């Protein structure tokens, strides 16, 4: 079945609110009228409002980079799903490897965040992927299976309707090393197989799986042409309007 491509920019901890607004306006100008695939940008929390305003009425959606699973309360420093939704977010990234590496994210906390996102109708982008050491030890599938099982524990097939998975091999993030199209395709097919076994063929066939890890204007087309690669989660290159624009235009 034909899945609509989805390109998202993860701006990580970059851009002040003014810089974020300027980048959003640049993207707006470049992608005016572009409808061939779904597009989103995920700026830091403080830049959500200016980006939502700058992108209103366009086909470029806005997403958060994380959320906390409680709705409100005494959780200093956290931001909840309902807050993101009220700020105009359509998407939220969950379980990014940087959060797993530096902020103690586990498969269990990813599971809770995912549930919280779905409860307030945010569309989650769930990140999975192996480290360099895990790839070298040949346990990529085992790791990805554990991450997927943990994140999706207790979910019904309906939960997959708005979910996107991002396969991001940790060794390819911000390193300039990219998984080869064949390497990435193999893991994407593996992930789709897991989903099929767990949730059935129809849910698995509809779900989009993005690749992330040093996606650039010059390698996007080949990666995105693979059967099970339905889009990209772009870090560094999403901070430059012309590069992100080129990646969006490379989508199937
Ligand atoms: P880079 O594109 O900078 O490698 O980052 C990928 C990523 O982590 C997107 O979430």
Q: Is 141 a catalytic residue?
A: no
Q: How many helices (H) and strands (E) does the chain have?
A: 11, 8
pLDDT (mean) for 177-188: 96
Structure confidence at residue 251 (pLDDT): 95
129 within ligand 1 shell (Cβ under 6 A)? no
Q: Is the CB of 247 under 6 A from ligand 1?
A: no
Q: Where are the alpha helices (DSSP H) in 71-123?
A: 81-86, 97-102, 107-119
- What band does 51 get if pLDDT is binned at 50, 70 and 90? very high
User: Could you identify the atom of ligand 1 that is nearest to the CA of residue 214?
Assistant: 4
> In angstroms, rounded to a whole number, what is the distance separating the alpha carbons of residues 190 and 167?
11
105-163 tens-digit pLDDT:
999 999 999 999 999 999 999 999 999 999 999 999 999 999 999 999 999 999 999 99
Asked if residue 83 lies in contact with residue 50, where contact means CB atoms within 8 angstroms, the answer is no
Task: For CA atoms 217, 26, 39, 58, give the dihedral sign.
Answer: negative
Pocket test for ligand 1, best of 12, 15, 126, 164 (most atoms within 8 A of CB): 12
**Per-residue model confidence as pLDDT tens digits over 64-88:** 999 999 999 999 999 999 999 999 9
Task: Return the pLDDT at 252.
Answer: 82
Give me ligand 1 centre to Cα 73, in Å. 32
Long-range Cβ contacts of 133-141 (<8 Å, 24+ apart): 135/169, 135/171, 140/169, 140/187, 141/187, 141/190
Measured from the Cα of 98, ligand 1's closest atom is: 8
Give the per-residue pLDDT at 1.
61
* From 78, 168, 188, 205, the catalytic residue: 168
**Residues 252, 250: Cα–Cα separation, whole Å:** 7
Strand partners for 241: none
96 part of the active site: yes
Provide mean pLDDT across the span 171-187. 94
Asked whether 228 lines ligand 1 (CB < 6 A), one says: no
CATH of 6-250, one of 3.40.50.300, 3.40.50.1980, 3.20.20.70, 2.30.40.10: 3.20.20.70
Contact 65 CB / ligand 1 (< 6 Å): no
Mean pLDDT, the chain, as a whole number? Answer: 97
Name the pLDDT band for 2 (thresholds 50, 70, 90).
Answer: confident
Rounded Cα distance between 91 and 163, Å, is 9
Is the distance from the beta carbon of residue 10 to the nearest atom of ligand 1 less than 6 Å?
Answer: yes
Whole-model pTM over 0.95: yes
pLDDT at 176: 87
Task: Please say if the pLDDT value at position 20 is more than 70.
Answer: yes
Indicate which atom in ligand 1 lies nearest the CA of residue 174: 4
User: Using an 8 Å Cβ cutoff, are 181 and 223 in contact?
Assistant: yes
Contacts of residue 210, Cβ cutoff 8 Å, sequence gap at least 6: 6, 7, 8, 125, 164, 165, 166, 167, 229, 230, 231, 232, 233
Mean pLDDT to the nearest integer, 189-209: 97
Two tokens, residue 147? 């991450």
Q: Average the pLDDT over 79-104 and give the result.
A: 98
| Count of residues in the chain | 252
**Quick one: residue 158, left, alpha or beta (phi over 0 = left, psi -120 to 50 = alpha)?**
alpha
What separation in Å is there between the alpha carbon of 74 and the centre of ligand 1?
32
Contact 163, 124 (CB under 8 A): yes
């Amino acid at each position: 079945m034909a899945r609509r491509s989805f390109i998202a920019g993860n701006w990580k901890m970059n851009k002040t609110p003014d810089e974020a607004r300027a980048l959003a306006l640049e993207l707006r100008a470049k992608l005016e009228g572009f409808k061939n695939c779904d597009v989103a940008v995920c700026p830091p929390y403080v830049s959500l409002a200016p980006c939502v305003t700058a992108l209103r009425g366009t086909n470029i959606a806005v997403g958060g980079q994380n959320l906390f699973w409680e709705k409100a309360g005494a959780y200093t420093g956290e931001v909840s799903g309902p807050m993101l939704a009220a700020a105009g977010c359509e998407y939220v990234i969950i379980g990014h490897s940087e959060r797993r590496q530096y902020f103690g994210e586990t498969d269990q906390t990813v599971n809770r965040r995912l549930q919280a996102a779905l409860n307030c109708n945010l569309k989650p982008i769930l990140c999975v992927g192996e480290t360099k050491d895990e790839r070298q030890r040949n346990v990529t599938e085992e790791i990805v299976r554990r991450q997927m099982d943990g994140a999706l524990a207790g979910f019904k097939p309906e939960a997959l309707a708005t979910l996107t998975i991002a396969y991001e091999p940790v060794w390819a993030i911000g390193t300039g090393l990219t998984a080869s199209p064949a390497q990435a395709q193999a893991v994407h097919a593996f992930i789709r197989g897991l989903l099929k076994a767990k949730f059935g063929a129809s849910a698995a066939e509809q779900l989009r799986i993005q690749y992330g890890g040093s996606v650039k204007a010059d390698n996007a087309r080949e990666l995105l042409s693979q059967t099970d690669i339905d889009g990209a989660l772009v870090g560094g290159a999403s901070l430059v309007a012309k590069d992100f624009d080129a990646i969006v235009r490379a989508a199937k």
